[in-house]
A and B are shown apart, each in its own frame.
Chain A
Amino acid sequence: MADIALARLPETANELRRARMLSLGARCALPVAILLGIGFLAPMIAILGYAFATPRSFDVFRSFTLENFATLFDPTNTVWLSFLWSCGFALFTVAILAVISYPIAYGLNMVFGRASPLISVLFVFPLFVSENVRLYGWVLFYIKNGVLDGTLKYFGLGGGPEVLFTPGMTLFGMVYTYLPFMLFPMTLGLALVPRDLVDAARDLGAGRLFIWREIELPLAMPGILIGMLLTFVLGIGATAEAKILGGQSVIVISHDIEIAFTYSQNWPLGSALSVVVTVFIAALTLFALSKLDLDRMLGRR
C-alpha cells in the first residue's frame, strides 16, 4: 500500500496518455517481435549451435569444437576466394548503381513531376517478377541465336558478343537485380533536400557543381548510404546471378554455403560459414543504422 501511495500518479490528461502509450507501443510491437524472435533469431541461434558442432555430424548443442572455423580460416581453403569475389562483386555493384540511379532519383524528385508516381511503379514492378524469370530472360537475350545475336545477324552485322557465363555477366546481373534497392532509398534521401535551400544558393550565385557538392549531396547522404548498404549486403548474399547468368564461372560465398548444406551434407561447416557472413553483414548494418535517423527519413514524404 505504501508503495502505491509514494509513487507519483500521472496527473494531467497528457501524462496519463503518455503512460498508456508506453505500454501500448510495446503491445503493438509484440506480434512482430514474437514472429522475428521465432523466425529470425531462433534460426540464427540454431546456426550458431551447428557452427560449433563436430564436422559432418548432426549432434548440435552436444559437442563443441572450433574445427569448422579452423577449416574456414585455413589458407589452403578456397572459401576466402569466394568471399573476396562476393565482396568485389558487391562493391562494384554499389559503385555502378550509384552512378546509374542518381540521375533517376533526381528526376523522380525534381523533373518528372506528375509522372513520377507512375515511373516509380515501373521501377518497383520488376521486384514482383521472380528473379529467376528475369535472369532467364537475359539468357534468352544474350545466348547464341538469341535476341541480340539473332538481331545482329539479321541485319548482317556478324553476331553478338559471347558474354554469357563470364564473371562480367554476373556483375551485370547483380546491377540489374538490385537497381530498385539503390534507387528508392536514394530518392527518399533526395526528397530530404529542401528546395528553397538550393534556390537560395543559386540566387547567391553558387554554381551547379558547388550546389551539388555542398548542399544536395550532404543532405541526401542518409538515403544514399542506406541504398549503398542495402545493395552491398544483398550483393554479398547474391547467388542466382552467378548461377544463371555467370554459369558458375565464379563461385560466390552463398553458393559455398549452399553446397556445404546440400551436396556435401556438412551442416556444421556451412553453419560456420553462415556465421562468418552473418556477423559481417549484421555488424555493417547495425553500424550504419546507428548513424541514421529513421524517423526523419521515413517521416518526410
Chain B
Amino acid sequence: MRRAVKRTNALIWAWTIFVLVVIYLPIICGGLASFNKSRYFGFPIKAYSTDWWDKMFASIEIGMIVKTSITVALLVTVFSVVIATFGALAFARYDWKGRRLYQKLIILPIFFPQPVLGLALLLGFNAVGIQTTWMTAVFAHMVWIVPVVTLVIAIQVYGFDPSLEEAAFDLGCSRLQVLREVTLPLLWPGIWSGMLFAFLLSWSNFPLSLYTTGADSTIPEWLYAKMVAGYTPMVPALGTMATVCAAAILLAGGLVGVLVRRRQAA
C-alpha cells in the first residue's frame, strides 16, 4: 500500500514538472530568439548578440508604448483596488438583500470573452461620442479586472473574524476608525495580492486594449501589430522584457507579502 502511494506521488510530481516545463517552453524560446544576431530565427542559434535589445532601448516609439502601458496599469491598479476592497466586503462579509444576485453579476464579466467585451465597449464609447485613448483603456481594463480583484480580496475577507470589528465598535470607535484601524490592516495581504493581480493583468492585457486604446498603443498591442505585419526581431526582445518586468514585480510583491504576513503574525 505505502509503496503504491509513493509511486503515485512520484508520478504526480513528474507530471507536474513536465507540464511546467511545457508551460515555460515558449517563453524561453522567445527569450532565446531575442538574442539572435540574425534577422531571421534559426535554431541552434549561430551568433548571439544584444543588438535587438539595444535597438529596443534606443527606440523612442517603444519608450512611448512602455510609458503608456505603465500609466494604464498603475491607474487601473489604484482605482480597481479601492473599488474592489469595498466590493469584496459586500461580496463576502455583509449579509444584504441583493448579495446573491451581486455575487453572480460580478462573476459574469470574468467569464465573458474579452474580445467581445472589448468590441462592446468600443461600441459603447462610440455611441456616447467618446474618442478612444489610453484613458478609455483604463476604464475598459477595470471592467474586467475589478471583478477579478474583488474575488481575490473576497477570499481574504472570508478568513476574517468579524468579532474583531464588533469589539472595536463596542469600544466606541467610529466606522471610519474601525475601517482604518481594524478592517484594512487585517485585509492588507488580500489587498496587496489584489494590487499585484490588477497591475500584472492590465500590463499583459491584449484583447481589451486592442479595441479601446485608439491611437495609443500598449506593449501587447504593439507586439501583435508587429507579428501580423512588419515583423522585427524587436518583438521577442520587447516580449521578453515585458515578461521579465512582470516576474520582477511578482517576486518583489511576493516578498513584501511574506514580510507583511510575518509582521502580522508577530
Decide: A28 near B94, CB < 8 A? Known: A107-B16, A132-B206. Answer: yes
Contact of B119 among A176, A236, A261 (CB under 8 A): A261
Rounded to whole angstroms, the CA-CA distance of A239 and B118 in the bound complex is 13
Rounded to whole angstroms, the CA-CA distance of A130 and B202 in the bound complex is 10
Determine if A294 and B127 form an interchain contact, defined as CB atoms under 8 angstroms apart.
Answer: no
Determine if A60 and B42 form an interchain contact, defined as CB atoms under 8 angstroms apart.
Answer: no
Shortest Cβ distance from residue B232 to the other chain A in the assembled complex, whole angstroms: 13
Shortest Cβ distance from residue A231 to the other chain B in the assembled complex, whole angstroms: 10
Complex interface: stretch among A36-44, A65-73, A214-222 = A36-44
Complex interface: stretch among A4-12, A16-24, A193-201 = A16-24
Determine if B116 and A277 form an interchain contact, defined as CB atoms under 8 angstroms apart.
Answer: yes
Determine if A130 and B206 form an interchain contact, defined as CB atoms under 8 angstroms apart.
Answer: yes
Determine if A25 and B106 form an interchain contact, defined as CB atoms under 8 angstroms apart.
Answer: no
Q: Does B255 contact A (CB under 8 A)?
A: no
Taking residues whose C-beta sits less than 8 angstroms from the other chain, chain A's interface range is 35 or more
Decide: A257 near B116, CB < 8 A? Known: A36-B143, A140-B30, A147-B29. Answer: yes
Give 1 or 0 for each of B110-127: 1 = CB within 8 Å of chain A CB. Answer: 111111110111111001
Chain A hits for B116, CB < 8 A: 237, 254, 257, 274, 277-278
Contact of B20 among A22, A123, A233, A277 (CB under 8 A): A123
Rounded to whole angstroms, the CA-CA distance of A132 and B12 in the bound complex is 30
Rounded to whole angstroms, the CA-CA distance of A112 and B20 in the bound complex is 14
Determine if B246 and A128 form an interchain contact, defined as CB atoms under 8 angstroms apart.
Answer: yes
Q: Does A158 contact B (CB under 8 A)?
A: no
Q: Does B90 contact A (CB under 8 A)?
A: yes
Chain B hits for A281, CB < 8 A: 111-113
Determine if A128 and B13 form an interchain contact, defined as CB atoms under 8 angstroms apart.
Answer: no
Determine if A137 and B29 form an interchain contact, defined as CB atoms under 8 angstroms apart.
Answer: yes
Residues of chain A in range 251-301 having any CB-CB distance to chain B below 8 Å: 254, 257-258, 261, 267, 270-271, 274, 277-278, 281-282, 285-286, 289-290, 294-295, 298-299, 301
Rounded to whole angstroms, the CA-CA distance of A28 and B106 in the bound complex is 13
Give 1 or 0 for each of B5-43: 1 = CB within 8 Å of chain A CB. Answer: 000010111011001101111111110110000000111
Decide: A132 near B92, CB < 8 A? Known: A143-B41, A147-B43. Answer: no
Q: Does B154 contact A (CB under 8 A)?
A: yes
Decide: A42 near B124, CB < 8 A? Known: A140-B236, A147-B43. Answer: yes
Shortest Cβ distance from residue A48 to the other chain B in the assembled complex, whole angstroms: 10
Decide: A258 near B115, CB < 8 A? Known: A17-B166, A29-B87, A43-B124. Answer: yes
Contact of B30 among A42, A136, A234, A274 (CB under 8 A): A136
Query: Lowest 4 CB-CB distances: which A-B pairs, in order?
Result: A237-B113, A137-B26, A25-B96, A150-B43
Chain A positions within 8 Å of B, measured between CB atoms, are 17-18, 21-26, 28-33, 35-36, 39-40, 42-44, 46-47, 49-50, 60, 100, 103-104, 106-107, 111-112, 119, 121-123, 125-138, 140-141, 143, 145-147, 149-151, 154, 176, 179, 229-230, 233-234, 236-240, 244, 254, 257-258, 261, 267, 270-271, 274, 277-278, 281-282, 285-286, 289-290, 294-295, 298-299, 301
29 sampled A-B residue pairs with Cβ under 8 A:
A24-B94, A24-B96, A29-B90, A29-B98, A32-B146, A36-B147, A40-B143, A43-B124, A46-B124, A104-B15, A104-B16, A107-B12, A112-B13, A112-B16, A122-B23, A132-B223, A133-B220, A136-B30, A136-B223, A140-B32, A151-B43, A151-B44, A267-B123, A270-B119, A277-B116, A281-B112, A282-B108, A294-B107, A299-B159
Chain B positions within 8 Å of A, measured between CB atoms, are 9, 11-13, 15-16, 19-20, 22-30, 32-33, 41-44, 82-84, 86-87, 89-99, 102-117, 119-124, 127, 139-140, 142-143, 146-147, 150-151, 154-155, 158-159, 166, 169, 200-201, 203-207, 219-220, 223-224, 227, 235-236, 239, 242-243, 246-247, 250, 254
